[in-house]
Amino acid sequence: MNVLCIGGGPAGLYSALLLKKAAPRHRVVVVERNRPYDTFGWGVVFSDQTLDNLVAADEPTAREILASFNHWDDIEIFFKGARVRSGGHGFAGIGRKHLLNILQRRCEALGVELVFETDVADDGELAAHYAADLVIAADGLNSRIRARHAGTFTPQVEARQCRFVWLGTTKRFDAFTFDFRETEHGWFQAHVYQFEPGTSTFIVETPETVWRAAGLEDMTQQEAIAFCERLFADRLDGHPLMSNAAHLRGSAMWLRFPRIVCERWVHWAGAVPVVLAGDAAHSAHFSIGSGTKLALEDAIALARCVGAHGDLRQALEAYQAERSVEVLKLQSAARNSMEWFENVARYAALDAPQFAYAMLARSQRLSHENLRLRDPGYVADYERWFARRAFAQAGLAPPDECAIPPMFTPFRVRGLVLKNRIVVSPMAQYSATDGVVGDWHLLHLGARAVGGAALVMAEMTCVSADARITPWCPGLYAPEHTVAWRRIVAAVHATSDASIGIQLGHAGAKGSTRAMWDGIDQPLADGNWPLLSASPQQYLEGVSQVAREAGAADMARIEADFVRATLAADEAGFDWLELHCAHGYLLSSFISPLTNRRTDEHGGTLENRCRFPLRVFAAMRAAWPAHKPMSVRISAHDWVEGGVTPDDAVQVARLFKAAGADVIDCSSGQVSKRERPVFGRMYQAPFADRVRNEAGIATMAVGAIHEADHANGIIAAGRADLCAVGRPHLANPAWTLAEAARIGYRAQPWPRQYLAGKAQLERNLERERS
């Protein structure tokens, strides 16, 4: 087989090397437009795991690379004058030029033909010249071949928000160093690592708006380097910053990272396939150091698939299937990391220890227990710091040994102190009779209250008969409802140290349906009741009832229903109240532009669309005791173009915060059947993160949180203050205690003196109310 590799970077050279090694009879040619020793950028970084992959693929190359590496284990973070160091990370750096030279020499030793200083304008013409049976397009981020066959590859190229410049310095750094600097214009950060004796990579990054405000757009290359030297002078200790891109003038040295995703990786030009590899196929932000890793692993997979399949078409299909999934995983982590660095200002209010932890865990790949495995001392110290602060904020003295997993630290909201950060999510049971809850609800909530969670939330409870989702949903609109709920609340208080809350809502256009197991969202076979919404709508087109638009009289009645239910919830003894403004139910239908098409004062702008939900909330807050917390559940993303976005969610949270909300419960979706959510573990935690750190209000994270490691990471990093866990609690009512045991933590009961003080506080508050 004749193989043509276009591009002499890591992907092209390593693909050529491995294909030639596997089948020496192949003719393999690499065509590169630059000279052999030209390279841009400084050093590249590998993890220890990547090094293991290289050893397995070609030991002679790996041995030479390993002998050239500068290896380190630590990450060091500088923020607001503080220094935080964490170990056990296992990185290695090597000069990019040195790496390419090693690959070039190995290729030549195996008989690969290297052709330099040849610019490829037409891959088809070049393939014909070399009688190629396979063309590997490894021509980098700005791939001409990818652009030429864009109709097949269907690339998505997105220029990101930050500007960065790739510099070097003669100062030696013994850790992967991140340095954050606030200026009058905004935040800058440096990513620094040594890759060879006497030389370190020094990448300076900042948002485009800050870059422009600082005047860097108009500076010469020399002026911009001098600016960076002044900014990071104390970290450089007199060492200069250097550029190896003298061909770039002025602001052209400052790049915007292109995020690249290709739908397909193989193009067939007649009988000759063109396959993408490396940066031509994908990109991963430099903050997780994976561009070269991905390129080399593409080459490993491509050579293996070609060797394993007799048919080239099958081989390339197997290559695309394998690598597209692996790349997607890493690109997801890289996107999280990239967005974190784009929004450093969002986290600037965090204390240095938490800021550093959040930076370490930014990609959501590095979990709390993984950090503990890498550096037990660092995690123990951080847990002590976090616990001391949490107990102090709760008004409690910390225990003597306070290296406590973050999910087991207390959290105070108004007059309520939760013993830990775990909440049992409201989960519909469809087991009420005419709105009256019974023994099933007592067992359901009681079992989870004694299972270790700090707060158990009753399912969405409807404020009127026509507000129910199904005829089997609970209500709080008749005296017998209050009596039934009071029995359950009393049992929870008597048998556990958990608190109990209730979520009040109105189904709106999603009401009058069957129980989930009889057909989710399907209308009742008979006995349907009329439905209301912000605007006329049919939730399931051609199936659901058409809900009519709520008028002024309807809205006044609905507000009164919520207030009546609020008073009943207090009479029943609930500790916490949540207003449901998510998932396409009535109040959510006012907030989302997908379901609110009104032209009056309740439609149009986001502020107008929130007007009625805020009015209902304010009336409830006035009726609910001042010492008891109130949260609001919102859909932070409709997952439909033209719907609510995370940007909107931050503004919605600000509005509810101003109205007196204590916590925003950040969910998403279920507003429209056209939604296209992107699922994954902790997939909604970023919404809680944004709301908490931009709107400045406590948040509850929900969605695919199913182990202690998830909860500890979310709480420790300041992404949320509480974690609501649903399905795992259905499977195991004692999920919280089971997870504590699994990570080796013995969850402590509340000290007797605290319980006595809590009881006295509640008695005092009750006397004040009466």
Phi, psi of 200 (to 5 degrees): -130, 145
Q: Which helix H or strand E contains 105, and what residues bound it?
A: helix 96-110
Please choose, from the candidates 447, 433, 450, the residue with its C-alpha nearest in 3D space to the C-alpha of residue 484.
433
At 439 the three-state DSSP class reads: helix
585 catalytic? Reply is yes
Angle 439-449/479-495 helices, nearest 10 degrees? 30
Place of tokens 């359901």: 444
CB neighbours of residue 695 within 10 Å: 20
Token code pair at residue 755: 């319980």
DSSP assignment of 710-752: HHHHHHHTTS-SEEEE-HHHHH-TTHHHHHHHHTT--PPPPPH
Task: Classify residue 704 by its DSSP letter.
Answer: S
CB neighbours of residue 23 within 10 Å: 14
Token code pair at residue 153: 């590859």
At 349 the three-state DSSP class reads: coil
At 478 the three-state DSSP class reads: coil
Alpha helices by DSSP H, listed for 285-375, are 291-308, 312-342, 352-360, 368-374
Q: Which helix H or strand E contains 760, and what residues bound it?
A: helix 752-769
At 634 the three-state DSSP class reads: strand
Give the C-alpha separation, 51 to 59, whole Å. Answer: 10
Give the C-alpha separation, 41 to 29, whole Å. Answer: 25
Question: 599 exposed, middle or buried (CB, 10 Å; 0-12, 13-18, 19+)?
Answer: exposed
Give the C-alpha separation, 523 to 528, whole Å. Answer: 7
Tell me how far the alpha carbon of residue 565 is from its chain's centroid. Answer: 36
Q: Label the pairing between strands 199-207 and 155-169.
A: antiparallel
At 15 the three-state DSSP class reads: helix
Please choose, from the candidates 139, 162, 137, 164, the residue with its C-alpha nearest in 3D space to the C-alpha of residue 41.
164
Give the C-alpha separation, 668 to 684, whole Å. Answer: 7
Q: Label the pairing between strands 176-182 and 187-196.
A: antiparallel
Q: Which residues of 338-363 are buried (b: 16+ CB within 10 A; e: fewer)?
A: bbbbbbbebbeebebbbbbbbbbbbb
Looking at the DSSP bridge assignments, the partners of residue 549 are: 533
Catalytic residue from among 193, 585, 683, 754? 585
Catalytic sites, residue numbers:
585
